[in-house]
Every structure is written in C-alpha cells, then in structure tokens.
Structure 1
Amino acid sequence: MVQSLVKLCAREVVSDHSSSPCWLSCVPRELYRALLDAAFTHCRPLAVGELVQRWPERTLTVGGSRKADECPPNRLCVQALLLAVVRGLTDKRCCLQILDLSGLQCENGRVEDSMGGWSLSVALCSMVLQARAAASRAHRRDGERERKRGLEAERNRGSIKRDRGKVVSGNSGQGSQGGHEAQEVEKMECKTNERMLPEDESVKGVRRRMEIQRRKTLSEGKSNTSSNNSSLCDQDWDEVVVVHVRTDLFVNSRSWERVRDALSQPGPLRLHCRYLRVEELSAPSIACLLGLLPQQNLLGVDIRYSSLGASGLAMLLPLLAPFPQLHSLRLHYCNLDLQRTQPGQQGALQDMSKGLSSLKKLKRLCLTALRLPGHLRLLLSSLSQPLEVLELPYLCLTSTDLAYLSCSQHAPFLRELDLSENWLDESSLPSLRRLLAQAQNSLCQLSLCGCGLSDTLLGALLPSLSCCRALRSLRLALNPLSRTGLLSLARTAAGMPSLRLLLYPNPLEEYEPGLPALPSSAQLLDWRLLEESEDRDLTRRLLEEVLNLRGRSRDLLVTSDLLNYSPDLTVDD
C-alpha cells in the first residue's frame, strides 16, 4: 500500500516529541486529523494527548469500523486520549464538544496492548467522575473567592460609613452649609434604605436602619453560606455539559457501581451509550442502568449470563420501549427454560410478548439458549415490523416453530439466520426448505451448525441452498457428514457466485473409531481426530479440486477451523 505524502510527513512530525512545542504552535487545524491518526498508528501517546487537549474542531471521532488488517489503538494512546479530554476542559484552545468513541474497544484477545470493552468502559467512567470532581473543586474555589470578596466589600462599606459619620459630626458646628450637606446625605441614604427594608419597618434613624440591615444580611450569609456554595456547585454548573461522549458500554457485576455513578452524577462530561452490553447483572440493576441512559442514542442491548428468568425479562422489556432508535436486542443464557412447567410461566410469557411488541424499530433479535419449544409464534407474532436478523441457537425449536417461521412476515426479509444446535429431522425439513425459498433474495448469512444434518438430509436441502443467490456465509460445522456428503456440499457452494465463506464439518472418516452412527454435535466436538494427517490431506486435496474446477479457489474460503475463520469475509466488499 502506497502511503500519501501527508501520512508520511505526519509520521515524521509526531515521531519526535521534543519538537512538539514548535509544530503545535503553528500547525493548521486541517492537519490535526492526520497527525492524530499517525500518533495512534505509531503509538505516540504524548502526541495524542497534546493534540486532543487543544483539538480545534467541534467533533472528534476515534474508533468506528476498522478494516481487517487495521490494528486497534494502543492502550497507552487511549489512556492519553481520555486524560487529554479532561485537561482540555480548562484549555481555551480546545473546541471539542462531541467525542465519538463508538467501536473503539478491541474484543480480539490475541491483540496485545489493546483495550477491551470492559476496561475501556471503566476508564471512560473514571474520566467522567474525574472531570466532575475537578469541576466541583474549581467551583468551590470560585464560590469561596466570591464570598470573601463580598465580605471584604461589606467591611469597606462599613468603614466608609463610619468615616462619613465622623465627617458629618465634625462639620455640624461649621456653618449652615456643612449642616445642609449632612442633611442631604442623610435624606439620600434614608431613601435608599427605605427601598431595601419592608414597609412596616418602625425603626427610626438612618444609621440605626443601616446597622440592622447589615446585621441581618451577615446573619443570613453565615447561615446559608454552605448551602449557597453547594447549590452553585450542584445546580448551576452541572446543567452545562461541555463535552458529550458517545460510546459503547460493557458492564458486569464488578463495574456496575462505577458506571452507575458516572451516568447518574451530572458534570462537564456526559456519556451517551450506543450499544449496552451487560453480564452477570440482576434485573433491578439492569433496570437502573436503563433508567439512567439518554434515550435518543441507544441502538442495541446485549444481556448475557444473567439469571433473569421469564419474570425478569417480562420486567425489563417494557423498559426498552422509551428508546426510539433501539433496533437490536440480544439475550444470551438468561436462565429461561420453558421446558419445565412453573407457576405463572404462561403469564410471564404473555408479558414478554407485550414487551417485544412495544419495540417498534426492532430489526435484530437474538435468543440464545432460552429453551422456548413451541412458543416462537407467541413471541415473534407480536412484533409490528419484520426482523432482518434472527438468531435462535440452542432454543429447542420444534417442527411447529419452523412451520410458523417459514410462513411468518419475517421470512422474506431475513438477512441473517442462525438455527444452530436445533435438531433437524425429516419432519422439519419441508418447513426449512420453504423458509429458504422465502428468504432466497435477502439471506446473506446462514448458520446450521450442530443441527444433526446427515448426508441424506443435507442432500435434500442442497437444492434450496443453491437458490439463495445473496448468500455470502454458510456455516455447517459439527454436522455428521461423510466425505462424500462434504464433497456434494462443496460442489453446491462453488456454484453459488455470491458465497465467500463455507465453514464445513470434519468428515466422519477423520475421527477415531467408536463414534455412534449419528453422533451429536457435543460428541463431534469432544471426539478425537485421527493423529495421522493422511485423511485430512486427502479431504483438503479433494476440496481444492472442486474449487479449481469451478474457478473459486481465490474468492471462496473453505475451512473447518471453528476458532480462526474470519467473519469479516461476510461483510460486503
């Protein structure tokens, strides 16, 4: 890749931190973006901090969608960015008002020195609390200075009045002119204080009235000094948000309190969550977070490994209705098992259906391991708009569920469908073929991993798969296929021009002896493969021949590696 001259120069400029005072004072604002990108790319945290602290534009976007060969920002650079945002609040050269960090986190654990979603969320919340504490201290200092100036002005006014009284008394015997001036001063002061005092004030004498008013003011000031200062710090300045921070929040039981404090306590920085992901939280804690989030920016909610049950989900789903832009809901392993009959279960399921019906913009729904056999119609029929992404792994779907899905309003609009780990047999095959026929123009990703597809079942399904002209990703791992069935699958996949990824299962010939005739996905996952590589080499050579005959050896990735295949290949070029 040939780099532009601006990128090359920016790299050289940020490489030497000792020269930063020279170029920071004269660099035009149009080059700040290129310099910041170079500082992130080549890990120059000091340059990142100095650039962000005096950022000349209203908006700064860091993160977003990255290319497959693009490394995430270094942890030190991200920390320098957050510290610089706090320092920039008191820097008059900084014009930053909107900081967009959406997608900045790195979820690839193999990338060293990167910042994951959990640690980034904690760092962001610490930044918000740190900025608020600094602003609170500054406003307390300002309030204390104002109070001292007020007391000093009051003492000065008192000394001036005493001097004036001496002058008046000293001039009382110096002729009619001095007495006349003293009377005029007294009349003016009397009129002024009459406006300040209540109408029913019965105290006579100008000096006496002034003394009473002064004592009253001082006594009120002493009693209300602390409350006035706190009101200045907790009401006036808290209403002014200097920088709005857009981000994705990852929250678990250890970081929940800090995230709650950052969202609930006002200050110069305010968090706006785009995607909320929570793990191991109770339903009341999740409800608390939802109540603190700004409603206009939330796009998706992902709840994982939380023991919610049907009652907890029924409580949370209505709380998502006030978010107008919410289009994604993911529920993973939330301890909902409707295979076991429990008191009040049907009523909670009805409440869940009503809660889903209130999500008017919902496009993506993921229900993992909720175990809802026979209840799919009740949940999905309540949605007012068709779904585009539907993930139903480990749901124990029945043939009745698949029959409903194939005839539902969602079928013609599905772009991604995941039915992994739902056992498919001959009774469910007609519904699945009808579903693929309905979605053949829209379906881009299909996952049928661990569905018990044998050579016979897959052979009956291949004609329907070949008609999916938009399909880019097909995942069929952990299905009991022989090498013959695998080659039939490869020939069908090679004849689909749009397909870019085929995740195939290891054929049964590559496993050690002892497997049952129709093994489950768990057995295939745990059973050992043959140590000799001859069988695997033979499978690989046969697959390459199929791809070469169809001219698909370069643009179609065929792999059996469950852990290292690239999901980025499913994204449109």
Structure 2
Amino acid sequence: MAQSLVRLCAKEVVSDHSSSPSWLRWVPRELYRALLEAAFACRRPLAVGELVQRWPERTLRVGGRRKPGQAAPNRLCIQALLLAIVKGLSDQRSALQVLDICGLQGDEGGVGDPMGGWSLTVALCTMVVQARAGAQRTQRIEGDRERKRFSALESERDLKRERGQRKGGKELHGDREKTVPPGPASEEEQIKGIRRRMEMERKRVNAETGLGGSKREIEEKEANCDALVHVRADLFVNARSWERVRVALGTSGPLKLQCRYLRVEEISVASIRTLLNLLPCRGLLGIDVRYSSLGVAGLAELLPLLSAFPELNSLRLHYCNLDIRRDHLGQEEVLRDLSQGLAQLKELRRLSLTALRLPGQLRLLLSSLPQPLEIMELPYLSLSPADLAYLSCSHHASTLQQLDISENRLDKDTLPSIRRLLSQASSSLQHLSLSGCGLTDALLGHLLPSLGGCWALKSLAFALNPLSMAGLLDLVRTAARMPSLRHLLYPNPLEDYQPGLPDLPSSAQLLDWPLNEATDVNMTSSQLNRVLIESGCSELFLTCDLLNYDKDLLE
C-alpha cells in the first residue's frame, strides 16, 4: 500500500511542470527514482530532464526487462534523458557516474512512440560527440584563463626577482659578504617537486590497479580515467549508422560509450572488425550479425577477434551467406579454423545459426566448445541425421534450456535422435521450437511420450506442421498434462485449409495456402480450449498466431 501511495503521489507531482522549481530543490534523494519512473510513465520529458540533470546517485539504470503490458519509454522522454546527461556534466548537483540504458529500446512504430534500437544508437553517438565538443569549448575557455593567470604570475615573479637582486646587493658590507639564511624553495623547484610526487603517485596507482597488459587495455584504462560518465547500452549498427558509431566509440571525452549487446546488419567484415577493435574488452556479452555476407572465410577471420572479450556468452549469425561443402577446395582447412575460433570462446552459452547451410558439420563445430551451451538455435540449417545423432549424445544435451530446430525436416530416421535428445534435456529444457519440421500425425504419435517427459518446458512452438484435427487434439491433451507449460503455438489443422493441398505439404505451402472461409477458425480454438477445461488446465495459453507469438511469449 505504501509503495502504491508513493507512485500515486509521484505521478501527481510530475504532472505540473510549472511548479517543479519550487519543490525539486527539497526532494530527498530517495524519491528521485519514484519521480523519474512517474515522469516516464506519464510522458513528462521536462520532468525527466530536470531529474536526470541533478541525479543524486552514482548510477542510473533506465530500461531492462519490462513487465507484462508495460510500454517502452516515450521517444521524447528518452531524448530529454540524453540531453540532461550532457547538461549534468557541468551541474555540481549531479553525482552521476554510470548510466545504464541496456534494453531501453522498443519497437519502431509501437504504441506510445518508442525509440527503436537504431534510432537510440544514433542518438547516443550524437550525445557522446556533443559532450566532447562541449568539453573542448570549456577547456579552451579555462585554458585562456589559465594562460592569463600564468602571465600574471610570471610578471609578479620577475618583479620579485628584480627586487631580490637589489636587496642582495645592499647586503654586501666592506670586504665580507653577509651570510643570508636559505629561504623557501623557488617556484621552479616547487613545480618540479609536485611533478615528481605526481609521477610517483601514478606509478603507485598503476601497481595497485594492475595497469598493464596489452596496448589496447592500457588505452582503455587511460580513456576511462578521463570519462566523467560511463554510458552502457545495446548498440544497433548498419551501413547508415556505422560511421557515426565508429566516431563515437573512438572519441575520448566526458562520456564513454560501452556496449552490452552489439547487433550489426548489412556491413562488411572489415567494418565489423573495426567496431570490435574500438569496443572495450570488458562488458560485451553478445554479438548478433545479420544479413551480412561474411562467408566462411570472413567468419573464420572474426572468431579470433571475439576471443578478446572475456565475458562474451552469446553469438548469433543470421543469413550470413555461409555455405560449407566438403567438395569445395580448402573447405577442410576453413572448417578447422572455425572450430578453433569457437574453442577460444570460453564463456559462450548461446549459439544461434540461421540459414547457414551447414549439413553434416555440427559435430566439428560444437564439439570444440569448451563449455556446454544453454541456448541453441539452429533453424533452416538442413540438419542431417548425423547432426541430430551427434546433438542427442553431445555434452550440450543435458544443459539445454532453449532449443530451436524449426524448419529442419524430421522423419522416421531422425525421430529416435530427437526422442533421445528430449530425454537428455528433460530436466533443463524450457523453450522448444519444432515449427515447420514436417511432423505428421504418425510421427507426432511417436514423439508425444518423449515430449510429455519434458517437465520443465514452459513454451512449445509447433506451427506449420501438417497435422489433422485428431493429431492436434492429441498434442493439446499432452500439453495439458505438462506441469510447467504456459504457451503452445499450434498449427492450423489440415481441415481448415482450402482444398488442393498435397498429401504432405511443406511449411512454405502451409504458410501461403489460404484457409477455408467456410470453416470457422474460432471453432478450432473453442474445441481446443474445451480440451483444456476438461483436463483442468487453466494456465496454458493457446495461439495459432505465428507472427505475434514472440510477443506473447513472456517468461
């Protein structure tokens, strides 16, 4: 009740911006977080800006995992946040040192006008460059003041020296010179002493903090020492934003840009390599490469660079034009290079390979990983029976939490491997996708016992499989008995399609073939929900909406 009252009061306070000068100076630091959340929720960018500009804590986190039904922050509020960060650099009331906006981005064009990943990345880079330009202007102004002050000190020192020489001449009496007691050290000697102490202190700090190692690590630590605020974010880079991101990452100034997850699209291997060389070694958790023509040789070139990031645990490659065939000259050597590159990723836990055409190569690639994977996504990979047989017996099977082998054709020869794999992963597997695998009623009947044994499974995607209504009912009955299952993406039964489908339609045919208008699709949904009611299962969510399934999937 107290927390709800605080939120209600905070919304009322930020609703009137004209009164903010009268109350903001008296707000305790413990209430800043509640006021900022209220400002974002009520879309009050002016209040967001004033709160952030004088943020009283060292760390500010905005973003992260959103609660179900919670919309992404408004674009204007995010822009006000970034502008306030720059203004706060010169505000003595701000104590901010770390800004964490990982996960802040929303879907472009979503409800409430959120800021997408690409737009947010461009805005961040612009903020970093503007902060550096502002700092340079301030340094020039302070430099002019310091030069004037130094000139005045020089003039005063010359005048004192001249007076001292005249006074020393008067101290000579007869043939004997009077002994003048030693005075305080000269200004030059004091400066030298200060420099010497600073150098000794720097060596001591370097010894305590371990400043050393590679040249890149030394440069990173020196750049971090100059930064006033470290900005941690997820970056989305494509050909249009690559140059701006490169400049921002290479900029040393009051804002230091750090990256948690890097997503790149449609850029060359050389550009990706440049970005990786500019990123700090610490903090990068994942890299996602999409629609870039890496080729096998390009991937073999990038993998050794990824080993420089000790915390990297996620690697995703989608539609990167990889086609490995043993009959091509030199492919064996390239495969060995790929295997050795993956072996250097000591902390890798997630590997996603989409449409890379790697039939028969799964053992060579995955067996080199030093640690078992927890998330494995292998859609459109043309997996062979040998690939699935290896996967079911590999050291990854018993640790898998998410598995996606959709759009890989399964038949009676590969079904034993799938059943063995599900048995090995029964206690750990939480999310499974078997969409578009060509599973008929007969194949499903052999698979259901193993599927029902996955007691930890929370979501199951089964779309675009050629099942009849009878097979679909068997699937739902099995799902209703699974204790942890909360989401089931089921296929439209064959009876709901217009006549003319082949006996064993492919997933592409099921996706494009029109549904029968005479058949009420809602009747299928009602019949399936009736099965859930009869089974006493009220927490399982059923949907056939393939396009919005990922949005519905909430952990």
Range of TM-score over shorter length:
0.7 to 0.9
Could you say which structure has the larger radius of gyration?
A: 1
CA drift at 1:137: 1.2
Cα deviations by residue, 1:103-126 (Å, 9 ceiling, x for unpaired): 111136432310111111111111
CA drift at 1:298: 0.9
- Which residue in the other structure is 2:145 paired with? 145
Q: 1:547 aligns with which of 532, 541, 544?
A: 532
* 1-structure distance, mates of 2:299, 2:385: 25
- Which residue in the other structure is 1:202 paired with? none
Q: Bigger shift: 337-346 or 394-403?
A: 337-346
SS of corresponding position for 2:549? coil
* 1-structure distance, mates of 2:325, 2:496: 36
Q: Structure 1's 252 and 443: CA in aligned 2 closer, same or farther, altered over 3 A?
A: same
- Which residue in the other structure is 1:220 paired with? none
* 1-structure distance, mates of 2:19, 2:523: 60
- Which residue in the other structure is 2:83 paired with? 83
CA drift at 1:565: 3.0
Equivalent positions of 1:379-528 (< 5 A) are: 379-528=365-514
CA drift at 1:138: 0.9
- Which residue in the other structure is 1:53 paired with? 53
CA drift at 1:567: 4.8
SS of corresponding position for 2:26? coil
Structure 1 runs of 4+ with >6 Å offset: 159-165, 177-181, 235-238
- Which residue in the other structure is 1:276 paired with? 262
- Which residue in the other structure is 2:197 paired with? none
- Which residue in the other structure is 2:544 paired with? 560
Whether the 8 Å contact between 2:392 and 2:417 is mirrored in structure 1 is yes
Whether the 8 Å contact between 2:325 and 2:331 is mirrored in structure 1 is no
* 1-structure distance, mates of 2:127, 2:503: 58
* 1-structure distance, mates of 2:304, 2:543: 42
User: CA RMSD for the aligned pairs?
Assistant: 2.8
* 1-structure distance, mates of 2:162, 2:261: 67
Cα deviations by residue, 1:46-69 (Å, 9 ceiling, x for unpaired): 111111111111111111111111
Whether the 8 Å contact between 2:233 and 2:259 is mirrored in structure 1 is yes
Cα deviations by residue, 1:341-372 (Å, 9 ceiling, x for unpaired): 43322211111110111111111110101110
Q: Structure 1's 300 and 566: CA in aligned 2 closer, same or farther, altered over 3 A?
A: closer
Q: Bigger shift: 382-391 or 101-110?
A: 101-110
- Which residue in the other structure is 1:211 paired with? none
* 2-structure distance, mates of 1:93, 1:445: 47
- Which residue in the other structure is 1:216 paired with? none
Cα deviations by residue, 1:201-260 (Å, 9 ceiling, x for unpaired): xxxxxxxxxxxxxxxxxxxxxxxxxxxxxxxxxx99984211111111111111111111
SS of corresponding position for 1:530? coil
Q: Bigger shift: 143-152 or 320-329?
A: 143-152
Q: Structure 1's 180 and 130: CA in aligned 2 closer, same or farther, altered over 3 A?
A: farther
Q: Structure 1's 27 and 454: CA in aligned 2 closer, same or farther, altered over 3 A?
A: same
Q: Structure 1's 139 and 303: CA in aligned 2 closer, same or farther, altered over 3 A?
A: same
Cα deviations by residue, 1:412-463 (Å, 9 ceiling, x for unpaired): 1111110001011111111111111111111111101111111111111111
Whether the 8 Å contact between 2:326 and 2:332 is mirrored in structure 1 is no
* 2-structure distance, mates of 1:108, 1:415: 30
* 2-structure distance, mates of 1:533, 1:333: 37
Identity level (%): 63
Whether the 8 Å contact between 1:373 and 1:397 is mirrored in structure 2 is yes
Q: Give the letter for the 1:144 counterpart.
A: D
- Which residue in the other structure is 1:36 paired with? 36
Whether the 8 Å contact between 1:238 and 1:268 is mirrored in structure 2 is no
SS of corresponding position for 1:111? coil
CA drift at 1:72: 1.2
Whether the 8 Å contact between 2:108 and 2:115 is mirrored in structure 1 is no
Whether the 8 Å contact between 1:472 and 1:570 is mirrored in structure 2 is no
1:264 equivalenced with 2:250 (yes/no): yes
Whether the 8 Å contact between 1:478 and 1:521 is mirrored in structure 2 is yes
CA drift at 1:548: 1.2
Cα deviations by residue, 1:507-566 (Å, 9 ceiling, x for unpaired): 1111111111111111111111112243x23322321221111012x3111111112235
- Which residue in the other structure is 2:4 paired with? 4
Whether the 8 Å contact between 2:439 and 2:466 is mirrored in structure 1 is yes
Whether the 8 Å contact between 1:239 and 1:267 is mirrored in structure 2 is no
* 2-structure distance, mates of 1:427, 1:517: 20
1:314 equivalenced with 2:300 (yes/no): yes
Whether the 8 Å contact between 1:324 and 1:361 is mirrored in structure 2 is yes
Whether the 8 Å contact between 1:60 and 1:98 is mirrored in structure 2 is yes
* 2-structure distance, mates of 1:313, 1:236: 31
Give unpaired runs (5+ residues) of structure 1: 197-234
Cα deviations by residue, 1:257-289 (Å, 9 ceiling, x for unpaired): 111111111111111211111111111111111
Q: Bigger shift: 139-148 or 491-500?
A: 139-148
* 2-structure distance, mates of 1:64, 1:480: 39
Q: Give the letter for the 1:286 counterpart.
A: I
SS of corresponding position for 1:4? helix
Q: 1:537 aligns with which of 522, 530, 534?
A: 522
- Which residue in the other structure is 1:213 paired with? none
SS of corresponding position for 1:275? strand
* 2-structure distance, mates of 1:17, 1:332: 46
Q: Structure 1's 2 and 163: CA in aligned 2 closer, same or farther, altered over 3 A?
A: closer
* 1-structure distance, mates of 2:161, 2:457: 90
- Which residue in the other structure is 1:201 paired with? none
1:367 equivalenced with 2:358 (yes/no): no
Q: Structure 1's 179 and 338: CA in aligned 2 closer, same or farther, altered over 3 A?
A: closer
